[in-house]
């Protein structure tokens, strides 16, 4: 199931998307104008932020001076990707209830971050995830491992967003020309490099705050509008959505995830795959490096806690709104209208906006443009966060602490960080252009699976398990990383999905049905690779005698009391 599941949630998936009929483009000028305005505002913010950025702590952690509410908004802006907005709304519009399952996993995941990670991490780390992982370990091996998994997770997530941006533009502006799409990807890449290189964490944070406000505002307008059409009666909205979709069981689980078929084994794997996805969603979030570094941007652990609480409120309300938007799209648009534009339903939200304003009317065109521009803003804010997280890890972990063995100055570290951001951005552009035909689902699945399998075990064990040591951390990271990658390589994502009778091709990465080297039956590796990540972390620990008791004492006392935590630059 879930290549398709994830496919639906990624902005751009099937190559069939490209063959979609050219949409009405009367709104094009307005959309481009609104988007240009967003770019102008964010560039302005970046210039301002670059003047405020003097020290390494400014560049990497925004001077640690954001308030809880500001950081809560920025976390929302960093987290709510186009997959959340367009993907979940689209899945609900086409498959009803099952789209809702995804948003629940994405939200509940924040309790892991709130209770187990955010404050302890703020108290012990400085700029990166590896600061915490390597705190009581030998620096070079642990930082190297953490840096590799940070870059891998971020690059795959980045690719998914950038390929998504290209397709989104194609869908909403009616661009089908390959060169124009490559230019869009290049443009998105150039903007994210500018945000990060010049604005650092301060600029990136403000871009994310602006985006979060726009996204919440846009979603709120649509939600209230839809609800008003149904007299604020949820039952009536749902009934109308179910009737208009013409699908049996539209309001019940099972149209998409864990499908029941005549074949018992297929049904079993389909259901296990769904549980595996659920596990990766709830455990992956607290292992995403671009999310984790946001905890460093506030003055202390108490503010980190407040910011996660704000984020939970903002993200939760957002997902409740996508529920109304998705069912509203199902109620007000025909299924054919949605799928003719994008087979996976990714344009359902902008289409609904147009329908609410009135198709063919000025108001309709304005609504469509606004929501389309919000979707672009969403992608830009997320890619900036990802670029910052991965370049920070290259500069702070690999360069300053492994290569220079902690002897680099802050100025050198920032300079290398900026170079790393350009390199990461260039690599992402270079990879995203040929990756356009690729199944984005695969990339999103990789990012979540690796974050949950490689990063989370090491983070939790280093914070809570007294005995944990260097070998445990490196084996946990490499073991979880390798498990997730190997299982994905031999999963139906890559080869061996049953042939689609309509196209005569397999929906796998290798679309030639004669190529089939898959032996792992699930698309989502989490069910196996997350326990393996914990297992390798345990095995490495117990097979090594190394253990730094003094550093464990320091880490535990510091993490819980906040003593000697990095201070804010403003007092």
The pair of structure tokens assigned to 563 is 């003593």
Binding test (CB under 8 A) with other proteins, winner from 159, 389, 408, 454: 408
Binding test (CB under 8 A) with other proteins, winner from 56, 82, 173, 304: 56
Residues 143-182 that bind other proteins (CB under 8 A): 143
The residue (of 119 and 354) whose beta carbon lies closer to other proteins is: 119
For the chain, report the end-to-end CA distance as a whole number of angstroms.
Answer: 52
The residue (of 467 and 567) whose beta carbon lies closer to other proteins is: 567
Closest by alpha carbon to 512, among 500, 520, 527, 525? Answer: 500
User: d(Cα 366, Cα 371) in Å, to the nearest integer?
Assistant: 9
User: d(Cα 292, Cα 448) in Å, to the nearest integer?
Assistant: 14
Q: How many residues does the chain have?
A: 571
Binding test (CB under 8 A) with other proteins, winner from 111, 227, 419, 423: 111
Contact between 95 and other proteins per CB under 8 A? no
Contact between 407 and other proteins per CB under 8 A? yes
Closest by alpha carbon to 99, among 277, 243, 333? Answer: 277
**What is the nearest approach in angstroms of other proteins to the Cβ of residue 301?**
8
Binding test (CB under 8 A) with other proteins, winner from 42, 134, 518, 524: 134
Closest by alpha carbon to 128, among 420, 377, 378? Answer: 420
Tell me the CB-side half-sphere exposure of residue 304, using CA atoms within 13 A.
32
β partners of residue 268: none
**What is the nearest approach in angstroms of other proteins to the Cβ of residue 145?**
14
Binding test (CB under 8 A) with other proteins, winner from 278, 357, 364, 476: 278
Site string for other proteins, 440-479 (x = CB under 8 A): ----------------------------------------
Count of CB atoms situated within 10 Å of the CB of 403: 13
Sign of CA dihedral 20, 21, 24, 25: positive
Contact between 220 and other proteins per CB under 8 A? no
Question: How many of the chain's residues bind other proteins (CB under 8 A)?
Answer: 88
The residue (of 35 and 250) whose beta carbon lies closer to other proteins is: 250
CB environment 153-176: b (16+ within 10 A), e (fewer): bbbbbbbbbbbbbbbbbbbbbebe
The residue (of 130 and 209) whose beta carbon lies closer to other proteins is: 130
Contact between 481 and other proteins per CB under 8 A? no
**What is the nearest approach in angstroms of other proteins to the Cβ of residue 550?**
6
Nearby residues of 269 by Cβ (< 8 Å), 6 or more positions away: 521, 522
Site string for other proteins, 355-394 (x = CB under 8 A): ----------------------------------------
The residue (of 389 and 440) whose beta carbon lies closer to other proteins is: 389
SS (H, E, C) 79-120: HCCHHHHHHHHHHHHHHCCHHHHHHHHHHHHHHHHHHHHHHH
Q: Are 534 and 457 in contact (CB under 8 A)?
A: yes
Binding test (CB under 8 A) with other proteins, winner from 114, 222, 338, 365: 114
Contact between 246 and other proteins per CB under 8 A? no
User: d(Cα 495, Cα 497) in Å, to the nearest integer?
Assistant: 6
Phi and psi dihedrals of 510, rounded to 5?
-85, 105
Residues 280-319 that bind other proteins (CB under 8 A): 282, 302, 305-306, 308-309, 312-313, 316, 319
Binding test (CB under 8 A) with other proteins, winner from 183, 251, 499, 539: 251
The pair of structure tokens assigned to 277 is 């996805």
Binding test (CB under 8 A) with other proteins, winner from 44, 246, 249, 437: 249
Q: Are 203 and 45 in contact (CB under 8 A)?
A: yes
The residue (of 203 and 258) whose beta carbon lies closer to other proteins is: 258
User: Cα dist. 478→147, 396, 473, 532 in Å?
Assistant: 11, 20, 9, 11
Count of CB atoms situated within 10 Å of the CB of 272: 16
The residue (of 75 and 370) whose beta carbon lies closer to other proteins is: 75
User: d(Cα 241, Cα 333) in Å, to the nearest integer?
Assistant: 9
Binding test (CB under 8 A) with other proteins, winner from 156, 195, 230, 257: 257
Contact between 482 and other proteins per CB under 8 A? no
**What is the nearest approach in angstroms of other proteins to the Cβ of residue 553?**
4
**What is the nearest approach in angstroms of other proteins to the Cβ of residue 409?**
5
Binding test (CB under 8 A) with other proteins, winner from 35, 79, 110, 448: 110
The residue (of 228 and 563) whose beta carbon lies closer to other proteins is: 563
Q: Are 416 and 393 in contact (CB under 8 A)?
A: no
The residue (of 90 and 164) whose beta carbon lies closer to other proteins is: 90
Site string for other proteins, 552-571 (x = CB under 8 A): xxx-xxx-xxxxx-xxxx-x
**What is the nearest approach in angstroms of other proteins to the Cβ of residue 135?**
6
Contact between 514 and other proteins per CB under 8 A? no
The residue (of 28 and 294) whose beta carbon lies closer to other proteins is: 294
Binding test (CB under 8 A) with other proteins, winner from 122, 126, 418, 497: 126
User: d(Cα 468, Cα 453) in Å, to the nearest integer?
Assistant: 17
CB environment 18-54: b (16+ within 10 A), e (fewer): eebeebeeebbebbbebbeebbeebbebbeebbeebe
């Amino acid at each position: 199931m879930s290549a398709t599941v994830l496919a639906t949630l990624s902005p751009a998936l099937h190559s069939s998307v490209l063959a979609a009929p050219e949409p009405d483009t009367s709104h094009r000028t307005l959309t481009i104008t609104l988007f240009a305005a967003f770019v102008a505002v964010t560039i302005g913010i970046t210039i301002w932020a670059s003047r405020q950025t003097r020290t390494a702590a400014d560049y990497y952690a925004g001077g640690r001076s954001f308030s809880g509410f500001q950081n809560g908004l920025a976390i929302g802006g960093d987290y709510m990707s186009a997959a959340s907005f367009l993907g979940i709304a689209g899945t609900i519009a086409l498959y009803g209830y099952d789209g809702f399952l995804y948003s629940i996993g994405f939200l509940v995941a924040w309790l892991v971050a709130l209770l187990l990670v955010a404050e302890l991490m703020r108290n012990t780390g400085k700029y990166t995830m590896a600061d915490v992982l390597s705190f009581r370990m030998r620096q070079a091996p642990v930082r190297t491992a953490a840096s590799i998994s940070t870059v891998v997770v971020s690059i795959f997530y980045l690719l998914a967003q950038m390929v998504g941006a290209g397709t989104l533009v194609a869908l909403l502006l009616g661009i089908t020309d390959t060169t124009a799409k490559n230019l869009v990807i290049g443009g998105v890449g150039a903007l994210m490099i500018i945000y990060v290189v010049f604005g650092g964490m301060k600029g990136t944070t403000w871009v994310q705050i602006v985006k979060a406000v726009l996204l919440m505002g846009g979603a709120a307008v649509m939600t209230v509008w839809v609800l008003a059409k149904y007299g604020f009666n949820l039952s009536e909205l749902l009934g109308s959505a179910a009737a208009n979709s013409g699908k049996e069981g539209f309001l019940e689980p099972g149209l998409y995830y864990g499908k029941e078929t005549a074949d018992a084994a297929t049904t079993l794997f389909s259901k296990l795959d769904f549980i595996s996805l659920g596990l990766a969603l709830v455990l992956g979030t607290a292992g995403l490096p671009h999310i984790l570094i946001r905890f460093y941007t506030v003055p202390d652990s108490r503010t980190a806690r407040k910011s996660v609480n704000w984020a939970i409120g903002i993200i939760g309300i957002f997902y409740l709104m996508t529920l109304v938007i998705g069912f509203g799209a199902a109620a007000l648009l025909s299924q054919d209208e949605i799928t003719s534009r994008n087979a996976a339903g990714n344009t359902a939200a902008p289409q609904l906006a147009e329908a609410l304003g009135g198709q063919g009317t000025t108001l309709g065109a304005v609504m469509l443009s606004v929501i389309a521009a919000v979707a672009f803003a969403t992608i830009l804010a997320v890619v900036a966060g990802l670029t910052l997280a991965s370049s920070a890890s290259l500069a702070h972990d690999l360069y300053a602490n492994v290569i220079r063995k902690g002897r680099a100055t802050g100025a050198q570290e920032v300079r290398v960080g900026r170079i790393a951001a350009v390199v990461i951005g260039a690599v992402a552009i270079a990879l995203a252009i040929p990756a356009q035909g690729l199944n984005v689902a695969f990339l999103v699945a990789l990012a979540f699976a690796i974050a949950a399998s490689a990063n989370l075990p090491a983070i939790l064990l280093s914070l809570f398990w007294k005995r944990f040591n260097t070998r445990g951390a490196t084996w946990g990271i490499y073991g979880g990383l390798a498990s997730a990658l190997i299982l994905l390589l031999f999963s139906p994502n890559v080869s061996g999905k049953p042939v689609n009778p309509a196209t005569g091709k397999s929906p796998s990465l290798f679309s030639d049905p004669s190529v089939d080297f898959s032996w792992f039956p699930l698309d989502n590796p989490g069910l196996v690779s997350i326990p393996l990540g914990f297992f390798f972390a345990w095995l490495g620990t117990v097979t090594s005698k190394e253990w730094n008791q003094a550093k464990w004492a320091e880490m535990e006392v510091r993490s819980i009391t906040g003593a000697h935590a990095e201070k804010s630059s403003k007092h």
